[in-house]
Amino acid sequence: MTQPGGESNVSLGPFTVYNHKTGIYASRLPPPKVPLTSVYDFCLGNVSFDDAGAAITICSTGQTISYGQLKLRSQQFGLGLLTKAKLKPGDTILVALHSSIDFAVCVMAAQFAGLQVALANPDYARRELKHVYNLVKPKKVIIHSTHLGRAAAASIKTFTVVLTDTKLGRGGVLSIGELLADEASAKAAKSYMPGDLNTTAYLPSSSGTTGLPKAVQISHKNLVSMLSMNLNIPGYIPDALSGEQLRVLTFLPFFHAIGLVGQLHLVLKTRGQLFILRPFTPDSLCKAVPEHKINMIGMVPPALTKLMKHPGLSRDTFATVKNVRCGGAPLDAETEAKFLQLTGVEVKQGWGMTELTVAGLDASSGQQTPGSVGCLIPGTLAKVVDVSTREPVEPGQRGELLIKGDQVFRGYVSNPEETKASFTEDGFFRTGDIVTVDPRTGEFSIVDRLKELIKYQGYQVAPADLEGVLISHPKIAAAAVVGRYDKENGTELPCAFVELSVDAQQQQHLSKHALAEEIDQFVRSKVSHHKFLRGGIYFVDKVPVGASGKILRKDVRAMLKSLEQGQHVSLPRSNL
């Protein structure tokens, strides 16, 4: 992607070009040569069936799968989905699994077969899983047997279920083992090559800029372009590795874009080894790093904050680590500096979102000012526009970040209105993030957010989702949910402003603290753990709404700021 109007270009630092005439930013790094191929062939196409090199290892058990085994198993299951489960290319399967070897096999099998892979958090509550299921309409749903009850509660038809770990033998439920094709047929089979590489490969969930979770259409071209862009950044794979195999420690969920593309697919493409750490604890991480000679770790700010409080964190512990990459939320410069002091390893920040497959900004050539999220990655254009006039603002001024590039998603499933609203007339995606660009270095910093989305420890929380739960409580007339930033733990916490029903207001004997506890437990019974109201519950006379009935979140955030300054909390924040 080239920068138009070259005669008006000026350099901002070594890696950013800005055009005063068009208001467009671009990277000085050359755009990558993107192979015209599918996700499967890009990652595993050149792998030999007898490749004994370790691909994925589970830290807690030592279970490992080699590259040859991963390719064979993926092709056996992929072919079985076509021949035994009678699926056809273009059909959708829903994978609701924790990060695991089974997860990798399932998604690569689907890519081999030309299927669309929708992704869901396996810990979704009934209503959340049902929402995703009804949205993507999968032909098969792949889960672990421990989640059968949850799938049934979400009204998932039993004959669509495929279990990873056992053969049930009733209700039409199948297992992976029953669907595997024989080895000879699997080895002889050819991977599906879509006629159009804009064909959807993955359907991860995202809240977009507003509303309930949406299914994001990520194409083969999106994903292959994304990885090609990242690998075209000098120093993205540290030069210090000097030919050494990439050994990545991951505790981030594969159903999230960072884990799926930025770790699983990246490692497979580079023939690295991926070590899965579940669950994450500072102690387990500090033991795993030296044990497995980890040289690259993906982080999110809350985990980094917890890690720095652990006595086992030291330069010796991180002696093999060459690269720590952090995303999911902004990380302050103070925390970056402290981590460097403790470990001797710099933290490199990037920025992205599900709609960008993974990323749009990253450290260029290893250089980055602490607190910034780096510069545009190769092949990506950006604008920064005034939120009111929608006109470009000059470097140094605040504005909404707009992005254009081959990694930008195709649209939201069955939601043309939201898709159209997410793009400008000239094809830039409206990210909803407010940024500034340093005129001296060309680096971007995230300073605010227009969108309603709350990020709790890297998980996405849609306010509208929680508000729907809250107003179903018989004592609540209206509710507004916003994020409350917790600096100590480096994450936002969902908090609620609640307007009581007339009947509840008239019950003078009600204890507000007891009622807050009741509401908190009510919400916890209906949503997954990352949506708990850890930021508190506040009782207000009236939830602020506009003439159209839309919640005025700016006013709600002002109320939150006022309450925080007054140190008034209706419900003490729960432990993270």
3-state secondary structure 169-220: CCCCCEEHHHHCCCHHHHHHCCCCCCCCCCCEEEECEECCCCCCCEEECEEH
pLDDT of 360 higher than 70: yes
Task: Compute the distance between CA of residue 396 and CA of residue 266 in angstroms, rounded to an integer.
Answer: 33
Give the max Cα distance, the chain: 75
- Residue 128 or residue 83, greater confidence: 83
Mean pLDDT of 269-284: 95
The per-residue pLDDT for 207 is 61
Mean pLDDT of 452-470: 85
Whole-structure pTM value = 0.86
The per-residue pLDDT for 237 is 82
Listed range (76-80, 84-88, 291-295, 541-545) with the worst mean pLDDT: 541-545
Mean pLDDT of 500-506: 85
The per-residue pLDDT for 510 is 78
Mean pLDDT of 499-528: 89
The per-residue pLDDT for 548 is 54
SS3 467: helix
Task: Compute the distance between CA of residue 551 and CA of residue 563 in angstroms, rounded to an integer.
Answer: 19
Structural domains for the chain:
66-206 (3.40.50.980), 248-378 (3.40.50.980), 454-565 (3.30.300.30)
Mean pLDDT of 166-186: 94
State what percent of residues in the chain have pLDDT above 70. 94
CB 458 within 8 Å of CB 256: yes
Tens digits of per-residue pLDDT, 51-73? 999 999 999 999 999 999 999 99
- Residue 195 or residue 234, greater confidence: 195
pLDDT of 512 higher than 50: yes
The per-residue pLDDT for 489 is 83
- Residue 546 or residue 63, greater confidence: 63
The Cα-based distances of 104 to 77, 93, 99, 263, 265 in angstroms read 12, 14, 8, 11, 9
The per-residue pLDDT for 567 is 46
Mean pLDDT of 242-269: 93
Mean pLDDT of 5-24: 89
CA-angle at 324, arms to 319 and 328, nearest 5°: 155
CB 453 within 8 Å of CB 460: yes
Mean pLDDT of 291-313: 90
Task: Compute the distance between CA of residue 410 and CA of residue 443 in angstroms, rounded to an integer.
Answer: 27
Beta pairing partners, 66: 54
Task: Tell me which H or E stretch contains 481.
Answer: strand 476-486
Tens digits of per-residue pLDDT, 193-221? 999 999 999 999 886 545 567 999 999 99
pLDDT of 89 higher than 70: yes
- Residue 471 or residue 317, greater confidence: 317
The per-residue pLDDT for 240 is 66
pLDDT of 421 higher than 50: yes
The per-residue pLDDT for 144 is 97
Tens digits of per-residue pLDDT, 517-536? 999 999 999 999 999 999 99
Task: Tell me which H or E stretch contains 517.
Answer: helix 512-524
Who contacts 334 (Cβ-Cβ below 8 Å, separation ≥6)? none
How many CB atoms within 10 Å of residue 49?
Answer: 14
Tens digits of per-residue pLDDT, 321-339? 998 998 877 777 888 888 9
Task: Compute the distance between CA of residue 215 and CA of residue 203 in angstroms, rounded to an integer.
Answer: 5
If you average pLDDT over every residue of the chain, what do you get? 91
The per-residue pLDDT for 549 is 63
Task: Compute the distance between CA of residue 373 and CA of residue 348 in angstroms, rounded to an integer.
Answer: 8
The per-residue pLDDT for 459 is 85
Task: Compute the distance between CA of residue 561 and CA of residue 569 in angstroms, rounded to an integer.
Answer: 12
The per-residue pLDDT for 49 is 98
